[in-house]
Amino acid sequence: MKFGIRLIEYLGSSRELLRLAVKAEQAGFDSVWFPHDTFMRNTWVLTSAAATLTSRVRLGGVAINPYTNDPCEIATYAATLDELSGGRCILGIGMHTEQMVGWTGIDTRDYLARTRAAVDLIRRLWRGEIASSDGPCFHWSEQCYLRFKPLRADIPIYVSAFGSDYLELSGEIGDGSQPMLTPPECAAQMVAPIARGLARAGRAPSTFVVSGCAWLSLSAGKRAAADTMRRMAAYFGPYLEDAALASIGLSHADFKPLKRLIDAGDHERAYASVTEPMLRLGIVGAPRDVIAQIEQLADAGVDEIGFGGPLGPDPDAAIELMAREVIPYFRV
């Protein structure tokens, strides 16, 4: 099992996120990720800064969508970050929901075709090819080629995906897949379509990384960890898949009252309205609780976990607990 950390903007300012990135590297994490969510802090700036402050961890953005970000910009960003970091870039491309891009008025109904086309164009650019295209998604001329040579032509691409068809596509075209494991109980449900995509492409699972995105709230005491998960559950719960929610007996209807409160700006009442079952959306508890849940994810076919969310009541303490008690358990 490998361990990543996803540093969401609710953890603090850009400088604070970068400080935590350095701490995560020192703690033994394998990768540091920044979600590329619409109207939030820019992943490309954060990963570039992190590249200059770290020396070992792999760096990437999660769910860089091919709508508000054109493939020509995604390709040059990843190639530049890879050069800057000395070959440590992983490109996370795709979406975990249509709704956030939809805020801009962009029609995302062709996300399967657009993601497939974007990945193909990006790889062609990295290989030094002329990436002309006259497909339904992109119309590129013969002037579409990189004016510099990337450090690597095979930067790993992890496809962020939701829903059975998208997850299958991630297994077919990606070097890895980044499904949302919210709740963790849905892991096997997420891995199955990825495996179908791998089989369709004639690829061995050993050549692929299932890099699940999970929310973490870790502390020495389980109650404090659970209370901290409320904010994530209230804000992001309404955007999760019904099929995944069903694995813990929930549905979108359960989150509608919370979304109304969030939309009205009454965040405190929304947090207070989070129920006990909703707290199961993340990996929550003391180190022994977290270890047990990670073992269940490994049994479901997850190769790597990107821990995001609040991390814990005290993010620094959570990272230290991961370094002292959780990560070493899986290194033995």
263 in any annotated domain:
no
Average pLDDT over residues 65-69: 97
* Per-residue pLDDT at 285: 95
186 in any annotated domain:
yes
Local confidence band at 143 (pLDDT 50, 70, 90 cut-offs):
very high
Beta-carbon-side half-sphere exposure of residue 145 (alpha carbons within 13 Å): 9
148 in any annotated domain:
yes
Burial of 195 (0-12, 13-18, 19+ CB in 10 A): middle
139 in any annotated domain:
yes
190 in any annotated domain:
yes
* Per-residue pLDDT at 113: 98
Give the dihedral of Cα atoms 266, 270, 272, 273; nearest 10 deg. 140
Q: Say whether pLDDT at 99 is over 90.
A: no
Q: Say whether pLDDT at 297 is over 90.
A: yes
CATH number for position 77: 3.20.20.30
Percent of the chain at pLDDT > 70 equals 100
Average pLDDT over residues 311-318: 97
Q: Say whether pLDDT at 140 is over 90.
A: yes
Q: Say whether pLDDT at 241 is over 90.
A: no
Average pLDDT over residues 83-88: 98
Average pLDDT over residues 248-273: 94
Cis omega (within 30 of 0) for bond into 205: no
Cβ 318 vs Cβ 17: under 8 Å:
no
118 in any annotated domain:
yes
Alpha helices in the chain (DSSP H): 14-27, 43-53, 71-85, 99-102, 111-126, 163-173, 187-200, 222-228, 230-236, 242-245, 252-263, 267-272, 287-299, 315-321, 327-331
Number of domains in the chain: 1
Q: Say whether pLDDT at 10 is over 90.
A: no
136 in any annotated domain:
yes
User: Which structural domain range is residue 172 located in?
Assistant: 2-229+282-331
Q: Say whether pLDDT at 117 is over 90.
A: yes
| Token pair of 73 as six digits | 């910009």
Local confidence band at 240 (pLDDT 50, 70, 90 cut-offs):
confident
Taking the CA atoms of 136, 139, 142 and 147 in sequence, report the sign of the dihedral they define.
Answer: negative
Local confidence band at 309 (pLDDT 50, 70, 90 cut-offs):
confident
DSSP letter string, 42-77: -HHHHHHHHHHH-SSSEEEEEEE-TTTS-HHHHHHH
Cβ 11 vs Cβ 20: under 8 Å:
yes
Please give the helix or strand (H or E) that residue 249 lies within, else none. Answer: none
Over the chain, what is the mean pLDDT? 96
* Per-residue pLDDT at 236: 87
| Token pair of 181 as six digits | 């494991």
Q: Say whether pLDDT at 221 is over 90.
A: no
* Per-residue pLDDT at 332: 80
Average pLDDT over residues 225-253: 91
* Per-residue pLDDT at 239: 84
234 in any annotated domain:
no
Location of structure tokens 């959306």: 281
Average pLDDT over residues 162-166: 95
Local confidence band at 244 (pLDDT 50, 70, 90 cut-offs):
very high
Q: Is 208 helix (H, G, I), strand (E, B) or coil?
A: coil
